[in-house]
Amino acid sequence: MAPPALGAVVAETHARVDEPITGPWAPPTLIDEPKSRWREPAPAGVDSLSFPHFTGQEFNELFRMAALPNLSSISATPAITESAEMDEHIRAEAVERGYQRRPLPANYALMRLIDDGLALQRPAAAAWLALQQDAADHGFELELKSAYRGHRYQREIFLRPLETPYELDDLAERLKMSAPPGYSKHHTGYAIDIGQAGHRHFGSSPAYRWISADNFANAKKHGWIPSYPPDGGRQGPVPEPWEFTYVGVEAILCFHQPPAGDDPLCSN
């Protein structure tokens, strides 16, 4: 049976209630290596390294429909401020901007530690290390700036630049730059913020030009896509060139294929 789409209701565990910030995850291992059919000998006539091009909205749909493992159901909305009325205004504004509720990991013990307390879901952890090594082979030093974030940490990030008492106009302005708790793709453990060593703005760095070339081909071959692409329409924040989400190589290769298509790479 195929795993459920992102955010679909699955059995929750008590672990998600604790929402740990620093554990109990383990380092990546060889068993975490993503199993991608494109690495295997391709069937005759199939160019296994030819990735389809996507619009910004298709990139966003890819993440929404990805069958990613180890995600809980989306349950109670976390608090943002001390005012329930103000929180409702923030959520309504967030939805209007295009933010969507995001699930947390179902079992935190399956998370993998990357560096300095940063953790990802198992397949994303291995895919990040592969992308980082690929970039290094081409002369670019990629740095992981942020990975999994729970509700409490996201609330801290969202409110950090603001002063109390909070004003609705300031909170609405903040939504242009940051998701409120409950709405961040980082909650899933499948989103990363990255940078290039020695460059303050990733969007203007040589590494970004490398990773974004040919409709993000160098990200795609490791299962990554831009999280908030420039032409993504209403998607929450303004475009963020530093954030990427993991969906897996098969999801990328098979996105445009009909469910019962004849493509040998996408028929299983």
In a domain, 25, yes or no: no
CA distances, 147 to each of 47, 101, 223 (Å) = 32, 17, 16
Tokens for 251, please give them: 């999801």
Distance CA 184, CA 182 (A): 6
User: For residue 87, is it within any domain?
Assistant: yes
pLDDT in tens, 202-247: 999 999 999 999 999 999 999 999 999 988 889 999 899 999 999 9
CA neighbor of 140 nearest in space, from 211, 246, 190, 43: 211
Do 191 and 175 meet the contact criterion of CB atoms below 8 Å apart? no
Residue 142 belongs to a domain: yes
Is residue 55 assigned to a domain? yes
Which two three-digit tokens encode residue 266? 């996408």
* Residue-range definition of the domain harbouring residue 146: 51-72+80-254
Does residue 162 form part of some domain?
A: yes
Share of the chain above pLDDT 70, in %: 78
116-168 pLDDT, tens per residue?
Answer: 778 999 999 999 999 999 999 999 999 999 999 999 999 999 999 998 899 99
3-state SS class at 105: strand
User: How many separate domains does the chain show?
Assistant: 1
Q: Which amino acid, 176?
A: K
Residue 10, domain member (yes or no): no
Q: Tens digit of pLDDT for each residue in 29-47?
A: 655 655 544 444 444 444 4
Residue 149 covered by a domain: yes
Query: What's the CATH number where 175 sits?
Result: 3.30.1380.10
Q: Which position has the token pair 């989306």?
A: 74
Domain assignment present for residue 213? The answer is yes
